[in-house]
Amino acid sequence: MEKQYANFLNGHSPDDELVKLALEDVQKSGLFPETLEVAGVRIFSGNKDQLKNRLGFAFINGENLLNVCRLIEIPYFSKDSKILFYRSKLIPSIADKQGKEIKYLHPLSKPAIPYILPEVWKVQDKANKPIWITEGEKKALALIQHGRHAIALSGVWNFRAGAKSDLDSDKSLWAEIECFAARGRNIFMAFDSDLWTNPLVRRALYELSFKLYDKGANIRIVTWGNNDKGIDDFLVRENNPKALQVLEVVAASLMEFMCPDHRSEIIPALSFVRDEIEKELLAKAFAKKLKISPKFIRQAVGEEDEPIVSANFPGLIDLVSENSEAEGTEGSGTAYLIKDGENLLIETKYVVNGLKHIPPQQVPWLLVSGELVLNHYQKLKNDPAVALFELYIDVVNYFKSISDLPHDGYYHLLAIWVFHTYLTEPCQYSPIISFYAIAERGKTRTGKGKIYIGRRGLHVQTLREAYILRACHDMKATLFFDVMDLWKKAEQNGTEDIILSKFEKGLTVPRVNNPDRGPHRDTTYYNVFGPTVIATNECVHRILETRALQINMPEGTKIYDVDVTPEQAIELKGRLLAFRAYFIDKALPNVSKPVSGRLGDITRPLLQIARIVNPQVEETLIKLINELNQQRMLEKSETIEAMIIKVICSLENEVVAGKLGIGDITAKYNLGKSEK
């Protein structure tokens, strides 16, 4: 066995447990050593620097990949048989910062082109040679091993090229696929069997099929039941060279495969058929199955899918202004700022999982110019250490210019918390900042300063449930609750559960919005996690107090001639968004809890941010956190329960026959207190 797979092992010992798993992985797909050797598939054997050269990175979640995984590297070839890049399968798979499983790694800044071996490229112009299109390189190799010419997609939607396509006429299809769609060629579509249960997979299948059909190809949909997920699983189980012939014979044409249950996926895909005669034939065939008039199909196809208005999806840095001017704009010309590899893109629409998203054109915070962020991002990439330190100092000075806090440690706390608002995704907790004082102590001024510089900051002076839920769930906003007697009004408005749940990821707030729908369908669960600031002149609920960092505002001595405005913070926001863009796909460092209990939980994310922004400030923050912890311990000792225990202990000599009178306890407790 070792000798047969020597090329695949690539110098690794077959006794290595991870190497064994890698070997089992390719054998599970039925791949022979000869197949792997011809395709150049083998276990990566270099060091971390060579891996970084391959992929553009060598660490995930702060962990050296080579210490925890083996990587099966799969070379991608050009038409002239040159290796373009390597895609890698992780053995075993790992989880990203959000807990999502990562099975494959694609090199940074490399397009997700189709996987086509040199021997498949040779039949590009031979329309009499059928082509198979499937999901994943191993499945394509299994088909090639059985004498077929197969192309693999690295994901069901990765036939779409977008802005990186080589074609001027069709940006939605890779040139590498389009060139195989010769008129009259049979193309067998072999998507995984989850197409029966996953509408997004079906939608991708229909869209690609209709696009190739429109080019003149004869589309055949291959299915093999639900017992085997992929075509490789089917081939291994059947272990019969004639099994593929049977599938090819019974494969359904597009018209045969279309069924009424797939109408939500078929109708949008029909719009990609540009040949009017072919589109009419397909529309009539589908209308017949639905038992409706073809005119309804034509009407539906003529309507473009309603785009999703969205402010959140994976890979989004933020909403920005299309304007090139440095100053912000409020909602006008809103665009997406998206990270693509190591580059940033400004887009007015974006497709996620086959669905078009557009940004809201009105948002309640001041937008930063996208060009401003791009400029600062480039500076940050050129010299991260210097750019981050300068940004940190400027944020600290910003707070010193607008607020009077108890001591310098609090300015560092506010600065790090602001950085935290731009990187909440990897954090489990977000400490609520609570400004507590009587009137005229600068609570509102400081709170406004925080949300004007924070990510998506909103100044909220109402506790109306509907608005708060939308701000949390839809906008993922940083909220500043500036309300007198906050807790009393929260209870009156039924929003106390929202405020209490904002500090921890995963906590949701249920609301029965549609009682007529019956059990399990009547309730909406809102995600309300996010950075929060509170200004209050009254003590907050003791549970909320444990989830917050309370800052007791001193009597101010400074005189401020300039008002705190969103425009004042716009340049810093642009630099902070560049900070988010730089770190959004990087793991936060591991940091120990500074103190025990919940205070340690909620402050740990701040120390993680400090570690990457300005490690020198960690000691200052830990000192402040211990100071806050001491205050909490002191306050606990002064609660009614604690005072009663102290009274009981002081009456030890009054115990008679093991009993202590309630009257004695009450009298001692009330001693020196007013009648109130």
pLDDT at position 639, please?
60
**pLDDT tens-place string over residues 316-348:** 999 999 865 444 444 348 999 999 888 899 998
Has residue 458 been placed in a domain? yes
CATH number for 456: 3.40.50.300
d(CA 290, CA 503): 50
Residue 293 has pLDDT above 90, yes or no: no
**Are residues 436 and 495 both part of a single domain?**
yes
Joined tokens for residue 513: 């919005």
User: Are 93 and 192 members of one domain?
Assistant: no
Other beta carbons within 10 Å of 79: 12
| 144 and 37 in a common domain | no
Residue 63 lies in a domain: yes
Q: How does strand 523-527 pair with strand 508-512?
A: antiparallel
Asked if 644 and 588 sit in the same domain, the reply is no
CA pair distance 340, 320, nearest whole angstrom: 16
**CA 646, CA 182: separation in Å to the nearest integer?**
89
Report yes or no on 411 lying in a domain.
Answer: yes
User: Is residue 297 included in any domain, yes or no?
Assistant: no
Do 354 and 398 have their domain in common? no
Letter for the amino acid at 584?
I
Query: In this structure, is residue 616 part of a structural domain?
Result: yes
Instruction: Judge if the upstream peptide bond of residue 241 is cis by omega within 30 degrees of 0.
Output: no
CA distance 557 to 545: 27
- For 411-454, write each residue's pLDDT tens digit: 999 999 999 999 999 999 999 999 988 777 889 999 999 999 99
Q: Is residue 272 part of a domain?
A: no
Q: Are 617 and 412 in contact (CB under 8 A)?
A: yes
Q: Which of 83, 105, 127 corresponds to the end of one domain?
A: 105
Same domain, 645 and 626: no
Among residues of the chain, what percentage have pLDDT more than 70?
A: 92
* 121 C-beta neighbours (distance < 10 Å), count: 19
Looking at the fold, whether 142 and 52 belong to one and the same domain comes out as no
* One domain, residues 612 and 660: no
Number of domain units in the chain:
5
Q: Say yes or no: 526 and 397 in one domain.
A: yes
Please check whether residues 362 and 409 belong to one and the same domain. no
pLDDT higher at 74 or 276: 74
Highest mean pLDDT among 7-11, 283-287, 393-397: 393-397
pTM over 0.85: no
Assess contact for 47 and 57: CB atoms under 8 A: no
Final residue before a domain boundary, out of 105, 133, 164: 105
Neighbouring CB atoms inside 10 A of 47's CB total: 12
* Residues 337 and 406 occupy one common structural domain: no
The stretch 601-622 carries a mean pLDDT of 96
Strands 70-77 and 131-135: unpaired
Provide the CATH number for the domain around residue 212.
3.40.1360.10
Domain range enclosing 85 = 6-105
DSSP string for residues in 184-225 = T-EEEEE--GGGGT-HHHHHHHHHHHHHHHHTT-EEEE----
Give the separation between CA 607 and CA 657, rounded to whole angstroms. Answer: 54
Provide the CATH number for the domain around residue 49.
3.90.980
Q: Please indicate, yes or no, if residue 295 is contained in any of the structural domains.
A: no
Residue 28 lies in a domain: yes
Q: Is the domain of 251 the same as that of 342? A: no
The whole-number pLDDT of residue 615 equals 96
